[in-house]
A and B are shown apart, each in its own frame.
Chain A
C-alpha cells in the first residue's frame, strides 16, 4: 500500500509528458548527426541526377566565397607541400567567382585512403581525392572513381602533360587518375661529407660501390658514434621495389606474386647484410629527416622531399647532392607520388566544378609553382618554359636530376596498387628484415608471398573486369 502513496506525487502531469516527449524529439535528430552523414545544403541539389547518390563532406566557405559551388579536396600533404597546395587552391578561389574549393588534410596516404573508404560507406565524400599512385587502383576496381575523358577538351588534355606520367592514370583509353605530385626516388648524398673524404661528387653507380664508399664514410663520427652511411626506409616499400628491380627482380608480374624469388630476396639479403654485418646502414624512423639533419650521409627518398631537405640541411650546415639511383644488375626507377580522382557517386555539378580545380592546377604557371615549391616533377610540359622554373632547372642540378632520370622510370608493380594491404604486408616483411639480423629474407618473403596470394584471390575478379 505504502508504495502507492510514494509513487503518486512523482506521477507527471500532462505538461511534463509533453516536455519529455519534446526532449526525446531533440535526442533523435542528434543521433542522426552521429551517423557522420552531413549535408551542407550548398551544392547537392543534384541529388537524383545520375551519380548524385553521394553527399558532400562538411565544408565551410568563408563569407566572401558564400553562394558558390563548394568543392572539398581531401589531401595527404602536410608541411611545405601542404602549404604550397593550399596557396594554389586559394589562387583558384580568387581567380573566378563560381566555385569555392577547400583543401582538407586527412593524414598521409595510408590514413587518408581508409578515410575515403569510410566516407563512401557513410555516403558523404569529398569532390577531389588526392590518392597516391598505389592507392587509386583499389578504389578503381571497386567502381568508386569517375572516368575523366569526357571532362577534357581541345585546349586542355593529354598533350599538355608529360605523356608517360599522364598515361599511368589510364585504364585502357579511359583516364581515372590525373597526375599531379609525381616523383621518382632520388639518391641524396651529403656533399660536404663526400668532399671531406675525397669521394667523387656523384652518387654511387652501384650498390657495391656504395658499400665500398661506406667503409670510408663510417670512419667519420657524429655524436661520438660512427657516421652511418645509408638510412633505409621502413614505412614505405617504394624504395625497396626500386632495389628489387635493380637486383633484377619484380614484386609481382600483374597480380602473380614474385617477391619470394630472385631480385627481391637478393636485394633484401644485400640490405640486411649491409645493416647488420657491415654496420653501415640502419632502419630509420624517417630517412629523409635523418639525412636533412646530417645524421646519415646518404638516403633514398622522393624528389618531392627536395625542398624540405634543403630547408633542414641549410640549418644543419651542409650541401645536398642528388643522383640517379644506384644500379646493381639493372636500372630500376619507379615513379610514385600522387594524383587526383573524382568520385563517381557525387552530383554532376560538383564533379564539373571539381574538374575546374584540376584544370586550374594543370595550367603551366600553376604547375610550375607547385614544382618549384615542392620539388615534385614537372608534369605539364609547358611549365618547364615558365621562366622561374626554367631558371631553377638550369641553375639547380638537383631539380634537373629527377627530370633526367624520368625516361628510365616505370610504374609500380601491380601487387602494390590493387591489393589494399599489398604495401602493408611487404612493408611489414621488410621491417622484419631491416630490424632483425637473424630473420632470413627468404623465409620472411615466403610468408609475405603466401599472404599476398591469399589476398589476390579476393581481388582478381574485379581486377580482371578492368584489366582482363
Chain B
C-alpha cells in the first residue's frame, strides 16, 4: 500500500511541478511503476493476441479485403485485381435480374421468419400439453435441426420427385399429378421454403417450449380467476411474455435465411433460371462459377450492409419493446 501511495505522490509531484524537485528515490519508484505498467500492458497484449490474431485473420481481414475486391474486376485466375471504382455496384443496381434476386431473398426470408414463428409456436403449444409419448415426439421434431442441410435437401428431393416421391403417392388417390417442384419456376421457391422450414421448425419449437415452461403460473391463475378465456390468456399473457423468445427467433431466422447456401445448392442450385437464387447463392455463383470476384464481392458487401441494418433496427426498435420477465 505504502509503495503505491508513494508512487502516486511521486507521479503527481513529477507531473505538477514539471521537473521541480522529486527526490531521487521518488524518481526511481516512478520508473519502477512505469516498468510494471508496461509489463502489465505487455501481458494484456500477449493474453489477447491469439484471439485478436484469429479474429483479425478470419473475420476482419476478409471483410476489408472483400471491400477492396468489390471495387475491382478480377477473374481470380490470372493477373491482379484492377480498380474500377463503384462500377460493380452500378452494374448490380441497374441489372433487372439482380432486382429479382433481392426480391427472392426477401420472399424467402419473410416466409421463413413468419412460418417459423407461427408454426414453431403452434408446435411448442402442442408439446406443452400433457400428452403421452411427447418426449419421443419432441426428440423427433428436433432431429432435423442437427442433420446437415445437404442431407435434408437430398431427402426432400426424394419427397418432391414427381415420379417416385412421397408427394406423388399422397396426390395420386386424388387423381392430381405432383408438381415438378424443383423444376417448375412457380413451385421451386415454395419447395425450398417447405424444406427449409421443416429443417428449422424443431429448433424454433424447442426454444418456444423452453419459453413457455418458464412463464409464471400465477399470472395464468389470476387470469383464470378474472374469467379470461383461452384465447385472451394466450393473446394477453402468453404472447407478450414470449416476446424475448420471438425476438431471438426473428434475429436467428433472418440471419440464417440470408446465409442459406447448402439447401439451395442441393435442392435447386438457384434455379430454374434465377427462381431460387438468393443473395448468398448469387455471391457463390458470381465468385466461383463465373470467376467474377468483383461482382461477387460487391454483392457480398450488400449482404453485409443489409444484415448490419437488420441487426441495428432489431436492437433499436424490437428489443426496446421486448418484455423481459
Contact = CB atoms under 8 A, between A and B. Distances in A.
B73 A144 contact: no
B221 interface: no
Interface in B119-147: none
Contact of A12 (B4, B43, B58, B292): B43
Nearest to A225: B177
Given A27-B53, A436-B185, A224 B175 contact: yes
Interface in A426-447: 427-429, 431-432, 434-436, 439, 447
A138 B290 CA distance: 11
B291 A138 contact: yes
A234 B290 contact: no
Nearest to A425: B290
A458 B73 contact: yes
A134 to B, nearest CB: 13
Interface centre among B286, B290, B292 (most CB of A within 10 A): B290
Given A110-B289, A439-B185, 12 more contacts: A7-B40, A120-B77, A142-B77, A142-B78, A144-B78, A222-B163, A283-B183, A421-B292, A434-B272, A435-B180, A435-B184, A458-B75
Interface string A118-137: 10110000000000000000
Contacts of B43: 11-12, 17
A31 B157 CA distance: 38
A439 B1 CA distance: 84
Interface string B157-197: 10001011000100010010100101111101000000000
Interface of B: 1, 4, 40, 43, 46-47, 49-50, 53-54, 57-58, 73, 75-78, 97, 157, 161, 163-164, 168, 172, 175, 177, 180, 182-186, 188, 269, 271-275, 285-286, 288-292
A1 B46 contact: no
A375 interface: no
A21 interface: yes
Contacts of B271: 234, 427-428, 431, 435
Nearest to A27: B50
A376 to B, nearest CB: 25
B315 to A, nearest CB: 32
A285 B161 contact: yes
Given A114-B288, A224-B172, A31 B274 contact: no
B108 to A, nearest CB: 18
20 contacts: A1-B1, A12-B43, A17-B43, A21-B46, A24-B50, A27-B50, A110-B289, A138-B77, A142-B78, A225-B177, A234-B183, A285-B182, A420-B289, A427-B271, A431-B272, A432-B272, A435-B184, A435-B272, A435-B275, A458-B73
A80 interface: no
Contact of B76 (A117, A293, A431): A117
A456 B182 CA distance: 31
A15 interface: no
A307 B54 CA distance: 50
